[in-house]
Structures are given as structure tokens and as C-alpha cells.
Structure 1
Amino acid sequence: MFKSIKTGVLAVILASSAIYAQAQKKINEGSLTYGVEYKLTKEQQDMMQGMPLPNETKLKFNGNITKIEMEQGPALISIITDNAQKTGVMLVDVPVAQKQFAVKQTKEDIEKVMGTTKYSDFKATGEKQTIAGYNAEKYTYKDDKGTSHELWATKDVELPQIGAASYFPELKAFPVKYSVVQNGVGVTATLKSLKEEKIGALSIAVPSGYEVTTMEDLMKMGGQ
């Protein structure tokens, strides 16, 4: 009897370990899709008239390097970022004009977009819900001015320091719903899907055939 009980307990422990191991699956290559909402000031709303903001963002990643692709008018834009080094490149293809431009992004450029606010004092609240199929828990935290915030994060998966994780490096979970300020615009992002898939090698090196320019010169050409 005791042997059967021990065997039963061992089976439960092994099953639990298997579930835990699956829940803590590490994904190093794939894609993330976020639903995005914006909080714009009246001035920002006036500036954005005629230029609708995307309500969804897809981010491909391989290790610490990410790639976001979007269309803006006749231009195809790719933003490739090395999240570990905080450097990157923006590639702009304009097929109708047969032009290709590259804008290198320094650490200072990326910090300008992401902001330099530091976050700390992350505390799990015990409140839970399912987001994009993952078990998520609400966390409270503070910025470097002492203001309190909250986000939702999951421990079901382990990903590189990419996307939302770049904003919250001290959080020991992956953010699935959070709010930040990018380029002075309030953004709330909610994870819609996470796929483990082959993306291939990503690099912030400027490909051959691209003319290296600055953001200021690109905007003068109508690249804004």
C-alpha cells in the first residue's frame, strides 16, 4: 500500500514537473503580435490627422535582435534593433522611386524613443487572468519619480530581453499588457499572439545598396 502511495505521489510530482517545464518554455526565435491603443494629447491628435496609427504591431525576434516591418505611404519600413546593445538601423525602401535608405540608430536615439524612465519595486498582486492564452498576473511597480503603475505579466514563457521586457528589466516575468510613453505618446500594448517560428538571422548591419542618411535628411525628402 505504501509503495503504491509513494508511486502515486511520485507520478503527481513528475506530472507537475512536466507541466511546470512546459509552462516555463524558453523561446529564442519567433514573433509577437500586440494590439495597440494610444493616448494622444489634443496637439498630437491635430498633428496625426490624416495619418492613422496602426492598431496592431508585429515584432519578429531572433535572440536579442528584433525586427518591425510596416508600410507608410509608398515606403516599406523595417526597424531592426539589437536590444542588448541598444543600437539599430531603420531601412526605408521606396520601390516606386527605386530608392533605398538606411538610418543608423545609436543608443541615444533609441533611448529618445523609449524614454529614460527607470522602473522598480515590482510586486505581484495575486490577481490573475488569461491573456493571449497565457496565465497572467497583475503587478504593481513604481517609476523613478515614485509614481505607481500596474501591468500584467506571465511566467509561462521565457523570452530574450526584447519588446516589453526592455522597459522592465527587473521584472522576473514577461509583460503581456502594459502602458509606456514612446516619443512622447502614451501607448498601451496587449499581447495577441506569440509564435515560436524560424525567423532567420537578423542583423543591424546596413545591407549593400542602401544609402546611409540621417533622420533629419530623410524627413526633408518626405520620409516622415
Structure 2
Amino acid sequence: MFKSIKTSVVALILVSTAIIAHAQKKIAEGTLVFAVTANGATTDIKTKFNGSLTKIEIENGPAMVNIISNTADKTGLLLIDVPVAQKQFAVKVSKAETEAQEALLPKYSDYKATGEKQTIAGFSAEKYTYKDDKGGAHELWATKDVDIAAITNGGFFKGLGALPVKYSAVINGVNSDLVLKSLSEAKVGAINTEIPTGYEVVTMDELKAMQGGGE
């Protein structure tokens, strides 16, 4: 059952918590919902944010996965609840581990607005072209309507100066298409960074071993 709990969620932390760049309307607390399509299947990824903290909630097979990230100090917490097995696991993610994952991600630059526009999730979005560090050409759609304080510290698209609302990313070798479905400013309350009672603390390597060494 653990084969369905992919540790690629660590990479997902970096994608989902670094997608926002500087924009116009500042929002300190709320919820983002992205539709993520990979391997022919589409899953809604919900990200709650408050201050410098974000919380991603994912249903992954038999498991409920919560990824809590502090974008200010690059630390995180991965909580996995498998009700059918009556198992709960917690993995602490250090700054060094986050930076190691960041180093594996492609570097993007040379962002250019094309002037082509459309509305996505209620926001005015413009198409941008850009390049990766291997010379590959890409495009995405982004908006300057909003700025989310929790996610301005990192930068998967550092230098873009806008919020990507439709783009593609490679997560652990799997090409994924992400489209913003909604942004709610409703209060989400405090995001707890402590390990809940009853969770077994394991390392990322131990988690990989449980799922047969998969990534």
C-alpha cells in the first residue's frame, strides 16, 4: 500500500509553495486549489496558507498526505495517515533536504510577456515564454492580480514577477500540468508545525523503504 505514497510530494512542496511571485493584491491567508494532471489522471491539490506557512492536503490512494512547509526557513513536515492500516507517519524535512531538492529542479529565466491574454480562475492572465537551463523553450500563463505573502520567499519561477496559473512542471521525472481552479481568502486558522500525538516519526529513507524504495 505504501507504493502509492510517493515521496515526490517533497518536490511538490517546492512546486506548490514557490509558485507565487510579487504581484498586486496582497493576501496573507487563504486557500489555493490547483488541478494537477499527471500520467493521465487529474487530482485537485489544495494549499492552505497563513503567514509564512503553507499546508498541502492530498488524497493519495489509501493515504491522506499533509505537507506543511515554512517558506521562511525552508523546513517542513510530512504527515501520512493510512486509516486502513491504522498507521500514521511523520517525516521532518530539514532546510538542507529542501535545498537538496531545489538543486535538482530546473532553473528558469528569460521570461517574456507575449501580450496574449485570457481569464483563468477569475484572474486576468497573460502568456509568457521562458527558457530552462538546458536551453529548452517553455510557456506559461500568469497573473499579476494577486500577491501571496506566504509564498514570495521561494521561487520555482523566480524573476517572473507574476503568479503562474497554468503551467507544466516535471515532478520526479513525471510531466505534470497545473491549472489554478480557485483562490479563496477565507480564514484557514493557525497552521500547526508540531507532530500530532500518535504519529510515528520516520526518516525519508525509512519511508522509501516501506514503499519498496520508490521515489
Q: Structure 1 residue 210 and structure 2 residue 166: aligned?
A: no
Q: Give aligned pairs, total.
A: 189
Identity %: 58
2:80 alignment partner, SS class: strand
Q: Which protein has greater RCO, CA pairs closer than 8 Å, 6+ apart?
A: 2
1:11-26 → structure 2 map (5 Å cutoff) = 24-26=24-26
Residues 132 and 208 of structure 1: is their aligned pair in 2 closer, same or farther, counting only changes over 3 Å? same
Out of 155, 178, 185, the residue aligned to residue 189 of structure 1 is 178
Q: Normalized against structure 1, the TM-score is what?
A: 0.73
Relative to structure 1, is the Cα distance of residues 185 and 108 closer, same or farther in structure 2, using a 3 angstrom cutoff? farther
SS of the equivalent of 2:180 reads strand
Cα displacement string for residues 157-198 of structure 1 (whole angstroms, at most 9, x for unaligned residues) = 1113539x7311211111101111111111110111111011
The structure richer in helix per residue is 1
1:182–1:222 CA distance, 2 compared to 1 (3 A): closer
Point out where structure 2 has 5 or more consecutive residues left out of the alignment.
1-22
Q: Which residue of 2 aligns with 1:123?
A: 112
CA distance in 2 between counterparts of 1:127 and 1:73 reads 39
Distance 1:208 1:217 in 2: 20
Q: Matches of 2:42 and 2:78 in 1, distance apart?
A: 18
Deviations 1:5-64 (A, max 9, x none): xxxxxxxxxxxxxxxxxx9321111111111222x5xxxxxxxxxxx8542211111123
Shift of 1:108: 4.8
Alpha-carbon distance between aligned partners in 2 of 1:221 and 1:53, rounded to the nearest angstrom: 24
Q: 2:155, 2:70 → 1: CA distance?
A: 11
Give how far 1:82 is off.
1.7
Tell me which stretches of 4 or more aligned residues in structure 1 moved more than 6 Å. none
Q: 3-state SS of the aligned residue for 2:76?
A: strand
Deviations 1:140-173 (A, max 9, x none): 111122222111110111113539x731121111
Give the counterpart of 2:55 among 67, 76, 79: 67
Contact 2:56 2:66 in 1 (8 A): yes
How many angstroms apart in 2 are the aligned matches of 1:158 and 1:205?
27
Q: CA 1:112 to 1:121, structure 2 compared with 1: closer, same or farther past 3 Å? A: same
Q: CA RMSD in A?
A: 2.6
Matched, 1:159 2:148: yes
Partner of 2:43: 55
- Structure 1 residue aligned with 2:6: none
**Alignment partner of 1:82 out of 61, 70, 76:** 70
> Which one-letter code corresponds to 2:48 in the other structure?
K
| Alpha-carbon distance in 2 for matches of 1:72, 1:130 | 30
Q: Equivalent residue for 1:12?
A: none
Whichever of the two has the greater Rg, that structure is 1
- Is the Cα contact below 8 Å between 1:123 and 1:140 reproduced in 2? yes
CA distance in 2, matches of 1:116, 1:73: 26
Moved more, 148-157 or 86-95: 86-95
Counterpart for residue 28 of structure 2: 28
Q: Does 1:147 align with 2:128?
A: no
Provide the C-alpha distance between the structure 1 equivalents of 2:98 and 2:156, rounded to a whole number of angstroms: 12
Residues 112 and 183 of structure 1 are in contact (CA less than 8 Å); yes or no, is this contact kept in structure 2? no
Deviation at 1:211, TM superposition (A): 1.8
Q: Note closer, same or farther for the CA distance 1:174–1:161 as it changes in structure 2 (3 Å cut).
A: farther
